[in-house]
Amino acid sequence: MQSTASIQDMQKQTLAFPSRLRSTARLHYHKVMETQQVWRPITSTLYFPVGPGTGFLYLVNLYFLYQYSTRLETGAFDGRPADFVFMLLFNWLCIVITGLMMDMQLLMIPLIMSVLYVWAQLNRETIVSFWFGTRFKACYLPWVILGFNYIIGGSVVNELIGNLVGHLYFFLMFKYPMDLGGRSFLSTPDFLYRFLPNRRGGVSGFGAPPSRRPAAPEAGGGGGGGMGGRHAWGAGFRLGDD
C-alpha cells in the first residue's frame, strides 16, 4: 500500500511539472520585482503555449518572425548586424516594460509584430498579399493583421502593443531625425559595433530607411559613417524603381 501511494504521488508530481514550468515561464510583475525572478522577461518572450487551439497561431507567428526578420536583415539592415540587434533589444525592452505595467504574461507576439511593423514602414509602397487573395500596400499590413484577429474573435492587445512599439522605434530612429529634421534620440551603442562590426557586400532588397533631409555640411566632414562604425543610412531604392 505504501509503495502504491508513493507511485501515485510521483505520478501527480510528474503531471504537475509542465504546469509549474508554464507558470515559471510567464511574466509576472510581483515575481520579477519582488522575488527577483529575472529570467521571466526572457522566458515569456520565448515561450508560447502550444495546444490544439493555438498550434496554428504559433506556426503563423513563426512564419512572420522568419519572413520579416530575414527581410530586414537582408534589406534595410544589410551588413549592419549591430543595428539590427539594437532594434530587437529596444523593442524587447519596451515590450517588457509595457508587459509589466499591463500584466501581459506572454511577449512573443508583440515582439514579432514590432519587427513586422518596422519592415512595413520601411517598405510602405511594396504590395503584399494577404489571405483570400487580398493585396494592399505593406504599410497597412500590421493593422490588417490586427483587424483580422479582432474579426475572428481573438485578442488584439498583443498586436496593438507590438505595432505601437514598432512605431516608436521607427519614429525615433528614422522618421523624426531623417524625415522631420529633428535630433536623433536613438543610436546603437558602440559596444555592439565592437562585437558585431559592420560588413560590406551582400545583396540588399526589401526596402531601405527614408532619406535624411539635406543639411548644411559641417566642419570636419562629420557624418554617419565615421567613428564607432556607425552607418550613414542614405536614400536607397524601392523595389521596382529604375
Contacts of residue 66, Cβ cutoff 8 Å, sequence gap at least 6: none
Cα 225 from Cα 137, distance rounded (Å): 32
Could you read off the pLDDT of 175-234 as tens digits, one per residue?
Answer: 888 877 778 888 899 999 999 998 875 444 445 566 555 544 444 444 343 334 555 554
With respect to residue 6, please indicate whether it lies within any of the assigned structural domains. no
Count of the separate structural domains present in the chain:
1
User: For 115-152, how does the pLDDT look when each residue is reduced to its tens digit (9 = 90+)?
Assistant: 999 999 999 998 888 877 788 899 999 998 898 888 87
Q: Tens digit of pLDDT for each residue in 52-110?
A: 777 787 888 888 889 888 999 888 899 999 999 999 999 999 999 999 899 888 899 99
Write the pLDDT tens digit of every residue in 15-44: 333 566 667 888 877 788 878 888 888 988
- Residue 3 forms part of a structural domain: no
- Per the domain annotation, does 15 fall within a domain? no
E-strand stretches of 53-193 = 127-129, 135-137
Residue found under cell 540588399: 204
The CA distance from 69 to 71, in Å, is 5
Percentage above 90 pLDDT, the chain:
29
Polymer length in residues for the chain? 242
Residue 103's Cβ-side half-sphere holds a number of Cα atoms within 13 Å equal to 1
Q: Is residue 173 part of a domain?
A: yes
Q: Is 234 a domain residue?
A: no
4 falls within a domain? no
235 within some domain: no
Is residue 205 within a helix (H) or strand (E), and if so which, with residue range? none
User: Which residue, 43, 15, 13, is CA-closest to 28?
Assistant: 43
Q: Is residue 218 part of a domain?
A: no
Angle, CA 29 vertex, CA 113 and CA 91 arms, to 5°? 25
The pTM is what? 0.73
Determine the structural domain holding residue 131 and report its residue range.
25-197
Q: What is the pLDDT of residue 226?
A: 39
pLDDT of the residue at 14 = 33
